[in-house]
């Protein structure tokens, strides 16, 4: 059985009749209006042995426990389906983790919205599974310099835009496009009170206008942090970044060959990592973050690998620094993967994931300075554990 794909999308923009605390910068940043809608965009993939749904959500991130609940709900309709929910990490959507409420002791999550979110993502994933059609694949990787920078290590940048386009098996008409770029969606900065998916809104819109098919945007190894390098922080700058990326993607895909995918292979690796960050421990104790620690003080998380023909996608549970991301791509290439794609914030949000030899926890995590990433990471073990997970998955 050759590849079949299905697609569905639903808006997940929160209503503003109740306080909406925007996640990603400082606390108590309340949304005042909606600049562009937030979405869950679900792409279902199936062959004779594997059924998996990739759902891109315009959110800061989701805890693994919530994704597991959604996957169980999807499996009530399609028992064989496996689910990957990857957050775009927009810094202008609702708090879905709990850290950006009105003050340091109040959770910023609207539990009613969170419950509705579970239902909406579930229904969208099931909807995609009910719209399956035979498909072929175009894959391309293109270097797009000058739109993102690494504010931690300026000389280490991953500027690859990964492009996967699914087309009808007979006519080769585009059915859906998946684009992945390693950069925080934060062109519009911390004084913005408007809900938006940032540069991803323009990226998706432009691709959809040209192809006539839906577009999903995901983010790669955006830690470090990889942040936009636009001239300013306006919506015009966000539009410009999205357009530049969309033009590069369309040009690369127009030159890509179309090939039949004869199998879909998906593996998931569940593992534990020590929760060493005292700030995260305090947030758990205060009820800002939700989650269950194992008896030994570790967190259970997961990574996974999806093979599609000569392309493979490594799904990572947090914000991986580009030095690790570049090494992961080299490792995937060495294992025979032609198009190596990395997707961050997939099925969990562990914060920043750093190489162990670059991890120095700040003396004062409340004022971390150049060690901000460490202050927002579960700990030094996160990088080595993820690296070990990729090795296991490739084996």
For residue 225, cis peptide bond before it (omega within 30 degrees of 0): yes
Round to whole Å and give the CA distance between 211 and 51: 26
The model's pLDDT over 201-258, given as tens digits with 9 standing for 90+, comes to 999 999 999 999 999 999 999 998 999 999 999 999 999 999 999 999 999 999 999 9
Mean pLDDT on 23-45: 96
pLDDT at 286: 84
> CB under 8 Å to 322, separation ≥6 — which residues?
150, 153, 156, 157, 158, 182, 221, 222, 223, 224, 226
Domains of the chain, earliest start first: 4-129 (3.30.230), 136-259 (no CATH)
Percent of the chain with pLDDT over 90: 90
pLDDT at 234: 97
The model's pLDDT over 85-110, given as tens digits with 9 standing for 90+, comes to 999 999 999 999 999 999 989 999 99
How confident is the prediction for the chain on average, in pLDDT? 95
Mean pLDDT on 287-298: 86
Whether the Cβ atoms of residue 6 and residue 129 lie closer than 8 Å to each other: yes
C-alpha pair distances (Å), 19 with each of 84, 112, 203, 213, 329: 29, 12, 29, 34, 41
pLDDT at 194: 97
In this prediction the pTM is 0.96
The model's pLDDT over 59-74, given as tens digits with 9 standing for 90+, comes to 999 999 999 999 999 9
Mean pLDDT on 109-136: 97
H helical segments located in 130-234: 199-211
pLDDT at 186 over 80: yes
pLDDT at 1: 62
């Amino acid at each position: 059985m050759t590849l079949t794909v299905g697609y569905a999308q639903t808006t997940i923009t929160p209503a503003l009749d109740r306080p909406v605390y925007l996640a990603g910068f400082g606390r108590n940043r309340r949304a005042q209006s909606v600049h562009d809608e937030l979405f869950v965009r679900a792409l279902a993939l199936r062959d004779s042995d594997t059924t998996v749904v990739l759902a891109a959500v315009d959110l800061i991130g989701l805890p693994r426990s919530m994704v597991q609940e959604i996957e169980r709900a999807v499996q009530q309709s399609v028992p064989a389906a496996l689910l990957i929910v990857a957050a775009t990490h927009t810094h202008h959507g609702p708090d879905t983790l709990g850290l950006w409420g009105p003050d340091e002791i109040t959770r910023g999550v609207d539990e009613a919205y969170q419950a509705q979110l579970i239902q909406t993502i579930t229904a969208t994933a099931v909807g995609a599974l009910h719209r399956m059609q035979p498909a072929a694949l175009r894959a391309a990787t293109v270097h797009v310099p000058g739109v993102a920078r690494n504010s931690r290590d300026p000389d280490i940048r991953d500027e690859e835009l990964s492009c996967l386009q699914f087309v009808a098996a007979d006519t080769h008409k585009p059915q859906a496009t998946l684009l992945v770029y390693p950069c925080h969606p934060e062109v519009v900065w911390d004084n913005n009170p408007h809900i938006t998916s940032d540069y991803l809104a323009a990226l998706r819109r432009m691709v959809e206008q040209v192809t006539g098919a839906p577009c999903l945007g995901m983010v790669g190894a955006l830690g470090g942090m990889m942040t936009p390098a636009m001239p300013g922080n306006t919506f015009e700058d966000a539009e410009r970044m999205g357009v530049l990326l969309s033009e590069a993607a369309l040009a690369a895909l127009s030159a890509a060959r179309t090939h039949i995918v004869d199998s879909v292979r998906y593996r998931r690796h569940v593992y534990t990592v020590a929760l060493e960050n005292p700030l995260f421990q305090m947030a758990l104790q205060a009820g800002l973050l939700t989650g269950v620690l194992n008896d030994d003080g570790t967190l259970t998380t997961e990574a996974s690998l999806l093979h599609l023909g000569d392309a493979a996608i490594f799904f990572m549970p947090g914000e991986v620094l580009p030095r690790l991301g570049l090494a992961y791509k080299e490792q995937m290439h060495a294992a025979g993967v032609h198009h190596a794609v990395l997707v961050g914030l997939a099925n969990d949000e562990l914060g920043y994931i750093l190489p162990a030899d670059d991890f120095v926890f700040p003396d004062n995590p409340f004022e971390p300075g150049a060690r901000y990433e460490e202050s927002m990471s579960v700990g030094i073990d996160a990088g080595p554990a993820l690296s070990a997970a990729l090795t296991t998955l490739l084996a």
